[in-house]
Structure 1
Amino acid sequence: MPFEPEELPPATPPFFDDTAGDVWVPLYRHACTFGPDMFVDKMMNMVRNPNLNSSWLFRADIIYDDDPEAETSVESSTSNARPSPRDFTGIPRQRTLVRKLIPRNERRDQPLDQTCTFHRSESTTTPTRSLVLYIPHASSAPDLPFYHPKVRGIAHLHEWHPLQGSGSISVHFLPFQQDDLQDKKVRRTAYRLLEILHKHGQSSAAGYVKRVHHDVVIPQARFQDHYARLKNKYARQLVDSWAESTDPGKHVFEDLGIAAFLMELWADMYKDAAFPGFVDIGCGNGLLVYILTQEGYSGWGFDARARKSWAQFQTEASRSPSGQSLEQRLLLPSVVPGTTSPDAVQISPEAIHDGLFPPGTFIVSNHADELTPWTPILGAISQCPFIMIPCCSHNLTGEKYRAPPPRDKTKSKSTFASLVDWVTHIAEDCGWEIETEMLRIPSTRNTCLLGRRRTKDLDEVNMEALLRKYGGVEGYCANVAGLVKSGPRGH
């Protein structure tokens, strides 16, 4: 069903009666084929995730919920967190929440408390009516932040005819003044709110099941709060001083997001132990290493070619062989035949790393291309946990490679989905339990594979047979030696 809403004329009577006598103005209406329960489900998802409706918002923190069975039922003791509900004739209130809207940039916009209420009337003779309200805790339009329309309240109404199996959805605003609704931005917001509800409701009615799940490893609030702190601290300086030819807007915000995720992950992993240090293999421009070391984490990174930005990102590092945080080194894993002699690739021994790290060192593999499928192998032979964020597809010889389709036939057969499944399979065969997190970063390559728990000991893994199973390593030395002579990639 395409989205073609009916724009309701200004003289349209209210669809429901506010017991306080205020007039809610209907703006747009659209037919729907999803019932009351699905409407409530979609609206609750939007209450918890206001970022679905506004790119200016990170999330909502639920600070009050009168549902005793709700997992997030927390009542704040602060006065502005108390609910400000409204009631309507013939549509009883069933649930009241207060959410705090968290903006992406708190230097520009302030958080806002908002009461959200759910109402429903059911009858055997009239349509079922479900109503969801957003009431901002603000006494006037100037008190509202930029991301909120300048109105006293927002309402979504769902009307359902069970015998016909059809209904309608509509959006209504409670203005401070009637003229407020003539503002184009206000009307555009109303249109957009109804469009998002229509999209999510109709998709579910058609059988759509969400397959991508965020915040599995690290809770959303912890990640976003940490990311906001790092962005405020580093973003402007890094963008203004960017030395590479690549887009600073992409790389800076992407690596700030990855750094925030890693720091929260490490806070969990090492809460009762000293941080063991990290190594970023295929570190590219070195930005991620710079952020992490600036934040007090010991570690280093290396790549086959140096980057222009290394000069400004170079810091002292206690975990690298030379004491520098960024080094030009070629990875020739000890398990690859013929790598024991540097003459095999005509490179000085000082420029080679054998892929063996101190046990426990956390391996970071961020868009490491040729080194991506090697990451779980290096983790296994060195007894090191890791994350890998796959990007371009290469096999164990370093050549470009189209991995076989995913084992799960319901998944996409794209090159990227195939790569993710293939490297996951390698990791599992190496004895790793793999956790998957879809990172909240500005990249379509945002799948993070985490290996921190073993399913079997290393002596149970036949590494020689594993390398053969995944295509062998013949030609690896020559292929990766060519990286030193070729120009650097964008990362």
Structure 2
Amino acid sequence: MPRSKNARDTTRLTGKPLAETIEPASLDIGPEAEEWLSSPDLMEMGLPFAPEVVYDLNVFLLINPNFNSSCLFRADILFDSLGGLKTPEHEEEKNSFGSCRVEGGGFGAQSVEPVPARSVAGFSLTRTVVRRLIPRNPQLDRPLDQTCHFYEAGEDDVQRDTTSKRILFVLTPHLSSRDEIPFYHPLLRGLVFLYDFKSDDAKPPQGGHGTLSISFVPFPEPIQDRLDRTLAALLNTQVRLARNAHTSRRPDRGNHNPIKDNVLPKHRVQDTYSWLKLKYAPDLCPRWVEDTEPSKHVFEDLAIAAFFIELWRNMYGVAPVAERGGESDDAVFPGFVDVACGNGVLVYVLLLEGYHGWGFDARRRKTWGIFPDWVQEKLKEATYIPKPFYDAMAAAAGTESDIRELGIDTLTGMFPKDTFIISNHADELTVWTPLMAALSNPESPLPFLSIPCCSHSLSGARYRYPTPPREKRHGGRGKSTPKSEGPEPDEPEPNPQPQIGDLKALRAEQQASQADAEMYNSTYGCLTAKTMAIAEEIGYEVERTLMRIPSTRNMGVVGGRRRTAQEWRRSNKPGDSGLAQPPDTHNGGTTNEVLERIDEIVRRECSREGGVDTAAKAWIERTKGLLKGQGRGNQPRH
């Protein structure tokens, strides 16, 4: 059922049920055996939208059917006669690293023939698109293929000094009987949107007026109230969205945000989330023992797990256990550690899906007790003390007892080589994450994904980072370049213009700037920017991406993805025996250079709080307070 506020002129509606107002459609649509119907209530007149706006909007809705139905995730494009809309295979190729790409899985996007185009008197066929509607819950609804034919008709009337343009969209589901229609699709054999626009050449384009109407061909049965509501809502959505549309938008990019789905293809993450939710949520939610709402936290962690499964598929070529045919992942996956793992659900799911790793947190959670014993052994009650702070405390006379008094295992972040670091809403550890990853192995810093939450300085104190200077901001594509790969600071950019040199590239740059401006207006955005800046200063190639998780804190900062994937593939070619060989190079510089950069960063960031020694003592005191009080143990997220 479509969802939207009413954007129509209700004074023109009859107020009668659709069954009492239906009449034959004015369009002559073949074949003659089909009886196309319409209604005065399925018509909205006096619209100021140019035909291009309505055309772009319908292309946009082809990709984003979730604007019309909350039961739908998305639509996968299977065919476009103009080639503007990209298929899932194209999206995977864009994000893959050669042999690290894994085929199959999900709902598939095999070739599907479009439904033959109908003949429409006075109109010419201009475009054919085949899409697959993907439901949110595949156990309740099945995917449905649908063909959309685009038609145009134009007529000039010189005497009246007006120009008339008509565009037509015909949607036809691929089915042979009424019983094949899923719940989210109206009970129709065909649906038509017609936009008839007349403009006055002597006035600006906005001086024209258009009429948007719906026609449909039903099954041979009475018109139900649900169909009445659905068709009215579909028309209302078109009018509502058209009021906010811009002709400069690229409709083939969908609901486009330059930092969304820029690391992983949307269909992979959504499909994996769907089966993870079906597999784990029915078990975890009823057994939830925390005081917090189970569905929110379980679904959020399952969405994050879906991202990691597809990220590691992309980086290492490793699939979840169900796709391996009984093979172990030890030969192709280096392992993970979840710092500040909180309730442990993410670690639990990743372990059960065959990815070896572990997690730690300063406070044991009640949730840990619902997991199997072997999973609980992978969840450690320990606190993190950054290595620079630990070294400073060890060097200062009479401070070693402060660490012993914590009464809990301490970790300095020295993890096995090539371990993937997960920093999910880790608060005080967020900005430390790239530093931790590099200190663990300066020769080849560890890859990481940080999902920032609350903003803290290196000492652990709450702190809002200042907005970075414009010249130090990252582009909207979400990717930065390590120092050693970019131009020297004193060198001007050799070609500051868009590389493609067209309006498409210029528009992308403008969208990137807008995304950056919005990001840096908040404490959360500045924290994300600071985490990226520190990682880049160390030598990482950094990417930021809006993750598809049910949380407002949904920005992901990925470090070292491309380098790790490329080096991992190079070191582990098909046919190699034994365990996977780790990457052996790092673009950020030599070991000494990396350590010098880290030392410089830590000293600089701690200087505002009295230096490294003072910041180290503050970290220990806050850790004591965390362990003595309720601390993070009763906080909503972790």
TM-score under structure 1 length normalisation: 0.89
Q: Which residue of 1 aligns with 2:593?
A: 460
When the two chains are superposed, the root-mean-square deviation of aligned CA atoms in Å is 2.9
Q: Which residue of 2 aligns with 1:189?
A: 230
Task: Give the superposition deviation at 1:389.
Answer: 0.8
Q: Which residue of 2 aligns with 1:261?
A: 307
Residue 228 of structure 1, aligned match among 274, 277, 280: 274
Question: Is residue 484 from structure 1 mapped to residue 627 from structure 2 by the alignment?
Answer: yes
Identical aligned residues as a percent: 39
Q: Matched residue of 2:244: which SS?
A: helix
Question: Is residue 63 from structure 1 mapped to residue 98 from structure 2 by the alignment?
Answer: no
Residue 419 of structure 2, aligned match among 327, 340, 361: 361
Query: After alignment, is 40-49 or 257-266 more displaced?
Result: 40-49
Higher-strand-fraction structure:
1
**Per-residue deviation, residues 226-278 of structure 1 (Å, max 9, x unmatched):** 11221111110011111111111111111111111101111121128621100
Change (3 A) 1:173 1:243: farther
- Contact kept? 2:147, 2:172, Cα under 8 Å: yes
- Distance, in Å, in 2 between the alignment partners of 1:198 and 1:343 is 69
Task: Give the superposition deviation at 1:175.
Answer: 4.0
Gaps of 5+ in 1: 318-322
Residue 196 of structure 2, aligned match among 151, 159, 178: 159
Residue 212 of structure 2, aligned match among 145, 167, 170: 170
Q: Which residue of 2 aligns with 1:320?
A: none
Task: Give the superposition deviation at 1:112.
Answer: 1.2
Task: Give the superposition deviation at 1:98.
Answer: 2.0
Residue 130 of structure 1, aligned match among 136, 160, 167: 167
Task: Give the superposition deviation at 1:141.
Answer: 4.0
Question: Is residue 338 from structure 1 mapped to residue 384 from structure 2 by the alignment?
Answer: no
Task: Give the superposition deviation at 1:380.
Answer: 1.5
Q: Matched residue of 1:316: which SS?
A: helix
- Distance, in Å, in 1 between the alignment partners of 2:213 and 2:448 is 48
- Contact kept? 2:76, 2:87, Cα under 8 Å: no
Task: Give the superposition deviation at 1:169.
Answer: 5.3
Residue 25 of structure 2, aligned match among 4, 10, 14: 14
Q: Which residue of 2 aligns with 1:289?
A: 347
Change (3 A) 1:242 1:11: closer
Change (3 A) 1:120 1:240: same
Question: Is residue 410 from structure 1 mapped to residue 442 from structure 2 by the alignment?
Answer: no
- Distance, in Å, in 1 between the alignment partners of 2:629 and 2:410 is 17
Query: After alignment, is 34-43 or 258-267 more displaced?
Result: 34-43
Residue 25 of structure 1, aligned match among 35, 38, 42: 38
Change (3 A) 1:140 1:460: same
Question: Is residue 392 from structure 1 mapped to residue 454 from structure 2 by the alignment?
Answer: yes
Task: Give the superposition deviation at 1:70.
Answer: 5.7
- Distance, in Å, in 1 between the alignment partners of 2:364 and 2:294 is 18
- Distance, in Å, in 2 between the alignment partners of 1:55 and 1:47 is 15
Residue 144 of structure 1, aligned match among 164, 170, 181: 181
Task: Give the superposition deviation at 1:40.
Answer: 2.3
Change (3 A) 1:171 1:435: farther
Q: Matched residue of 1:309: which SS?
A: helix
- Distance, in Å, in 2 between the alignment partners of 1:161 and 1:178 is 36
Query: After alignment, is 211-220 or 112-121 more displaced?
Result: 211-220
**Per-residue deviation, residues 290-345 of structure 1 (Å, max 9, x unmatched):** 0000111110001111100112235537xxxxx92101111001122534465224
Query: After alignment, is 479-488 or 439-448 more displaced?
Result: 479-488
Question: Is residue 117 from structure 1 mapped to residue 149 from structure 2 by the alignment?
Answer: yes
- Distance, in Å, in 1 between the alignment partners of 2:357 and 2:66 is 35
- Contact kept? 2:51, 2:195, Cα under 8 Å: yes
- Distance, in Å, in 2 between the alignment partners of 1:12 and 1:53 is 25
Letter in 1 for 2:245: S
- Contact kept? 1:130, 1:157, Cα under 8 Å: yes
Task: Give the superposition deviation at 1:20.
Answer: 2.5
Letter in 2 for 1:242: W
- Contact kept? 2:428, 2:456, Cα under 8 Å: yes
Q: Which residue of 1 aligns with 2:61?
A: 46
**Per-residue deviation, residues 337-370 of structure 1 (Å, max 9, x unmatched):** 5344652244467610011111210000111111
Task: Give the superposition deviation at 1:476.
Answer: 1.8
Change (3 A) 1:195 1:213: farther
Q: Which residue of 2 aligns with 1:242?
A: 288
- Distance, in Å, in 1 between the alignment partners of 2:307 and 2:72 is 19
Question: Is residue 427 from structure 1 mapped to residue 535 from structure 2 by the alignment?
Answer: yes
Q: Which residue of 1 aligns with 2:480?
A: none
Which ranges of 4 or more aligned residues in structure 1 deviate by more than 6 Å? 206-209
TM-score under structure 2 length normalisation: 0.70
Change (3 A) 1:61 1:351: same
- Distance, in Å, in 1 between the alignment partners of 2:118 and 2:411 is 67
Letter in 1 for 2:118: R
Task: Give the superposition deviation at 1:384.
Answer: 0.8
Query: After alignment, is 140-149 or 279-288 more displaced?
Result: 140-149
Query: After alignment, is 275-284 or 33-42 more displaced?
Result: 33-42
Task: Give the superposition deviation at 1:388.
Answer: 0.7
Q: Which residue of 1 aligns with 2:377?
A: 324
- Distance, in Å, in 2 between the alignment partners of 1:380 and 1:175 is 63
Task: Give the superposition deviation at 1:91.
Answer: 1.7
Letter in 1 for 2:621: A
- Distance, in Å, in 2 between the alignment partners of 1:97 and 1:90 is 21
Change (3 A) 1:263 1:31: farther
Question: Is residue 444 from structure 1 mapped to residue 552 from structure 2 by the alignment?
Answer: yes
- Contact kept? 2:63, 2:74, Cα under 8 Å: yes
Q: Matched residue of 2:559: which SS?
A: strand
Query: After alignment, is 390-399 or 400-409 more displaced?
Result: 400-409
Q: Which residue of 2 aligns with 1:95?
A: 127
Task: Give the superposition deviation at 1:117.
Answer: 1.1
- Contact kept? 1:277, 1:362, Cα under 8 Å: yes
Letter in 1 for 2:175: A
- Contact kept? 2:425, 2:453, Cα under 8 Å: yes
- Contact kept? 2:166, 2:196, Cα under 8 Å: yes
